[in-house]
Amino acid sequence: MEMLPAGHGDALIIEYGRPDDIHRILIDGGPYYAYDDAGGLRERLKSLQDAGQSSFDLLVVTHVDIDHIDGIIKLLQDPEFASLEFKDIWFNDWKHLQPRATGVLAGVQGEFLGALLEERGLNWNRHPKLAGGPVMVPDEGNLPTLELESEATITLLSPGPAELDNLRRKWKQSVSRAGFIPGDRTAALAELDRRARYGPPRGVLGTQEDDSAANGSSIAFLLEYEDERLLLAGDAWAPVLQRSLDRYAVEHGGPVGMKEFKLSHHGSFSNVNKNLIRAIRPDRYLVSSSSQYYGHPDSDTIELILRHHQDGEPEFVFNYLSPRTQPWADEEKQRRRGYRALFPTGALWGVDT
């Protein structure tokens, strides 16, 4: 799994399979301003394409906040990647989620992405168990388990009907402020074309803040391949994840440990609690954030994990060395507190070297 430098957002590439049969998943694209950063999404995809590896089994756009969706909007408009293939794309759009079909997400960016996917005729929520419907966890019954190629599986943990319903009015409000109505693809494409920040030149960071209702709608899941499990949480709410993990434990005869947990909402203290940490039991905690704009990860999150982590010495993997993460790099502190901190990307933000 690669946590690409994506500013204050997520852009994750997962590879699984055997050396002669590699499969790839892309999760989110970060904010628009980080799309062409050194080592970022555009550069990484270009290196894969140049190596003849331009096919992905799955693209997951977890939710509509700009630090997750904007890089994907830029990617789909980038002529450099006209031949890039996504065999399936998971994204919950207005058309999936009318009332009685479990509610609606929120945001103008969602309209932009939905319009682009339809315009290009891309595969979209096509997995047989989705059949074009929403990616969601029902309130009752077993958690949805979706098989991927090469015997990998995904178990959905979030969102549920309540989280999607919670976003219906937010979506409508956001789109109305932009001057068109939900589902109007022509108007969405015209508005997208007007917004310079989605074009090739770099823009200036907008001021839109994360919407907690949008975070709650995040597509979150367990990815399992052979004997390894990863929890990819997007910006999902801790209670939603915990409820699903409790259901997972019942279905599988007890808690099942996992290799890595990509912390929800970039390590925000509002998206983690002690019961969630105890239920997950990962070997590694992954933090995707430059600490820019919102100051993630919160130090209280790391402290909470250190207090409640079970089964050995935890590892923290940060994709940026920043003023927020630098204190955890101190080697003496790591020995004294009993953890390891890794900074494999070498990405720096706001740190004097």
pLDDT at 212: 65
Rounded CA-CA distance 197/175 in Å is 18
State which H helix or E strand residue 76 sits in: helix 66-76
- For residue 97, the model assigns a pLDDT of 59
CB 217 within 8 A of CB 92: yes
Strand partners, 279: none
Question: Are the C-beta atoms of residues 29 and 78 closer than 8 Å to each other?
Answer: no
The predicted pLDDT at position 227 comes to: 87
Short-list 312, 217, 298, 219, CA closest to 259: 312
Largest CA distance in the chain: 59
pLDDT at residue 109 in the model: 87
Cα separations (Å) of 185 from 72, 85, 157? 17, 23, 30
pLDDT of residue 96: 66
pTM of the model: 0.91
Q: Which of 64, 113, 111, 70 is nearest to 89 (CA)?
A: 113
Q: Which of 277, 248, 249 is nearest to 263 (CA)?
A: 277
Q: Whole-angstrom distance between the N-terminal and C-terminal Cα of the chain?
A: 27
Question: Does residue 5 contact residue 34 with C-beta atoms inside 8 Å?
Answer: yes
User: Could you tell me which residues come within 8 angstroms of residue 292 by beta carbon, excluding any fewer than 6 positions away?
Assistant: 7, 8, 322, 349, 350
Sign of torsion, CA 78 44 203 61?
positive
CB 79, CB 49: distance < 8 Å: no
For 59, half-sphere exposure in the C-beta direction (CA atoms, 13 angstrom radius) is 28
Contact 231, 263 (CB under 8 A): no
CATH architecture label of 2-342: 4-Layer Sandwich (3.60)
Gyration radius from the chain CA atoms: 19
pLDDT per residue, tens digit, the chain (353 aa), is 999 999 999 999 999 999 899 999 999 999 999 999 999 999 999 999 999 999 999 999 999 899 999 999 999 999 999 999 999 999 998 776 555 443 334 468 888 999 999 998 999 999 999 999 999 999 999 999 999 988 899 999 999 988 888 777 678 777 888 888 888 889 888 888 887 666 543 332 223 333 467 898 999 999 999 989 999 999 999 999 999 999 999 999 987 788 999 999 999 999 999 989 988 889 999 999 999 888 999 999 999 999 999 888 999 999 999 999 999 999 999 999 999 999 987 778 777 65
**CB neighbourhood size of 325 (10 A):** 25
For every residue of 15-49, DSSP letters joined together read EEEETTEEEEEEE----GGGTTSTTSHHHHHHHHH
Residue ranges in 154-260 assigned as alpha helix (H): 161-165, 168-177, 185-194, 212-216, 238-251
pLDDT value at position 102?
A: 38
Residues 6+ apart with CB under 8 A from 144: 129, 137, 138, 155, 156
